[in-house]
A and B are shown apart, each in its own frame.
Chain A
Amino acid sequence: MNKNDNVLLLVGSPKGSSSTSNSLGDYLISCLEQLGLTATKEYIYKLIKKEEGQKKLLAKVEEAGMIILAFPLYVDCLPAGVIKALEFIADHRKSKRDREKQGFAIIINCGFPETQHNNTAIAICKVFSREVGFEWMGALSLGMGGAVGGGSLEERRGMVRNVIKGLDLAAQALAEGKDITDEATEFFGKKFIPISLYTKMGNMGWNKQAKKYGARKKIKDQPYL
């Protein structure tokens, strides 16, 4: 097997297989597989906590020709566990003399409706990519991640059709060894519901979830006063 055809998907959500990051990442690697590449997947939060997992993470990264990191925005940047993984990778690669060029692309999603919240995290990933000697192949950036949710994207075809189109286009470019195109990024990041509807539904959703836990009346509590 040609190493260049070997894609590693790293899912950086602590929610693992039930995350939006996983749904988006899964769809992209299934497209890449259809285009003849081989893909494997690892969940970052499963690997970083123990030494054995950390070693596995580093080995997997070394084996891959292209790395795709899919993660949610946490407090305006990368989740702590993802930063930890990047710290490990950077540390490990510092000691390596001949670093092969490996492709690196990211899929980021956030809870707020606007994609611009993701810009700082994307900039951080670009610096990381440069620092460890990866070849930056672009970022797919999505808002309203809460509306995509876990599960298969195909099942939600209608609402997320542009997200799917963006992933299809990105896969085509990546499979040819090219950067993710602007067209792919644009489709992927298109709003799929009006912002006012997303926030209204979101707010109702929080109430509903709180009710499930018997916490509806406590939702505005100030526990530390």
Chain B
Amino acid sequence: MKAIILDGTKSDNNESTKIFDLMLEELKKLNWEVISIVLEDKNIGYCTGCFGCWVQTPGECVIKDYEEEVVRNMVHSDLIIYLTPIMFGGYSSILKKALDRQIGRVLPYFTKVDGEVHHSKRYEKEQSLISIGLLGKHDTEKEEIFKMLVARNAINMWAPFQRAIISLKGENESGFSNNFNKALMEVEAIL
């Protein structure tokens, strides 16, 4: 069982270090093989919107930088984990930079999913998605948007299981670990 953590937080954030460590602990307990990528430290350029990853070098971005490692590892994983501060309800720009560059994981062709248009799968193997959003204080609107975004991403990228977990600043650690552990068990159950 392989998991990749895409850490889209800033290095000066104590809260994210704590959550990151708690996640690793749970993953290790359940024998997950983990690759974690601290995106802030990596040389990853912005998507230019050229669709080269669909029509020029299919499946690969035409920009050659660290993102290639990110996508390669995503494709080989059973589980993708996002870690991000919740920015206006959505992801941080650091995380999003990596996500904009991974659309080569699906094909350009349109297909319908539950009556709505999406893209067809490129790879047989599917990746579940757990997304951890860090929030300073409770905010129903932001939390709902974050959950909706993760659910929408899961449809677009063919994730068989998705869960958004919101971690509030100063929240007790066992609460987070329990929620995360429960999500991991659900991912395992469908492997």
CB pair A78 B60 closer than 8 Å: no
- Contact string against B for A residues 55-94, beta-carbon threshold 8 Å, 1 for contact and 0 otherwise: 0000000000000000010111111110110110010000
Which residues does chain A contribute within 8 Å of B52, judged by CB atoms?
213
CB pair A15 B107 closer than 8 Å: no
Which residues does chain B contribute within 8 Å of A199, judged by CB atoms?
110, 117
Which residues does chain A contribute within 8 Å of B92, judged by CB atoms?
83, 87
- Interface residues in A184-216 by Cβ distance below 8 A to B read 195, 199, 202-203, 206, 209-210, 212-213, 215
Q: A127-B141, A225-B75 are in contact. Are A75 and B56 (CB under 8 A)?
A: no
CB pair B123 A72 closer than 8 Å: no
Closest to B118 in A: A112
CB pair B110 A78 closer than 8 Å: no
Which residues does chain A contribute within 8 Å of B116, judged by CB atoms?
112, 114, 116-117
Please, how many angstroms separate the alpha-carbon atoms of A203 and B117 in the complex?
12
* Stretch with Cβ within 8 A of A (4 or more), from B11-19, B23-31, B82-90, B169-177: B82-90
CB pair A75 B153 closer than 8 Å: yes
CB pair B148 A75 closer than 8 Å: no
B56 nearest CB across to chain A (Å): 4
- Interface residues in B82-109 by Cβ distance below 8 A to A read 87-93, 96-97, 99-100, 103, 107-109
CB pair B58 A76 closer than 8 Å: no
Please, how many angstroms separate the alpha-carbon atoms of A75 and B99 in the complex?
7
CB pair A221 B56 closer than 8 Å: no
- Interface residues in B17-71 by Cβ distance below 8 A to A read 46-52, 54-60, 71
Q: A83-B96, A124-B89, A224-B75 are in contact. Are A203 and B148 (CB under 8 A)?
A: no
Tell me how many residues of A have a C-beta within 8 Å of chain B: 52
B164 nearest CB across to chain A (Å): 12
Closest to A199 in B: B110
Count of A-B contacts with CB under 8 A?
145
Which residues does chain A contribute within 8 Å of B183, judged by CB atoms?
none
A194 nearest CB across to chain B (Å): 12
Please, how many angstroms separate the alpha-carbon atoms of A180 and B52 in the complex?
36
Q: A13: which of B49, B54, B99, B122 is its contact (CB, 8 Å)?
A: B49
A103 nearest CB across to chain B (Å): 18
Q: Is B181 an interface residue (CB 8 A)?
A: no
CB pair A123 B148 closer than 8 Å: yes
Which residues does chain B contribute within 8 Å of A215, judged by CB atoms?
55-58
Q: B71: which of A84, A125, A209, A224 is its contact (CB, 8 Å)?
A: A224
Q: A77-B149, A206-B109, A223-B60 are in contact. Are A123 and B47 (CB under 8 A)?
A: no
Q: A219: which of B60, B89, B99, B108 is its contact (CB, 8 Å)?
A: B108
Q: B96: which of A49, A78, A119, A210 is its contact (CB, 8 Å)?
A: A78
Which residues does chain A contribute within 8 Å of B117, judged by CB atoms?
112-114, 195, 199
B109 nearest CB across to chain A (Å): 5
Which residues does chain B contribute within 8 Å of A213, judged by CB atoms?
52, 55-56
Q: Is B138 an interface residue (CB 8 A)?
A: no
Closest to B57 in A: A215
Sample of 12 further A-B pairs with CB below 8 A, known A112-B118, A220-B107: A15-B50, A74-B96, A75-B156, A76-B149, A83-B96, A86-B88, A113-B117, A120-B149, A199-B110, A213-B52, A222-B59, A223-B59
Q: Give the interface of B toward A (CB within 8 A).
A: 46-52, 54-60, 71-72, 75-76, 87-93, 96-97, 99-100, 103, 107-110, 116-118, 122-123, 141-142, 145, 148-149, 152-153, 156
Q: Give the interface of A toward B (CB within 8 A).
A: 13-15, 19, 45, 49, 72, 74-81, 83-84, 86-87, 90, 112-114, 116-117, 119-121, 123-125, 127-128, 131, 195, 199, 202-203, 206, 209-210, 212-213, 215, 218-225
Q: Would you mind naming 7 contact pairs between A and B with Cβ atoms under 8 Å apart? A: A15-B48, A77-B91, A87-B87, A123-B141, A127-B88, A215-B56, A221-B58
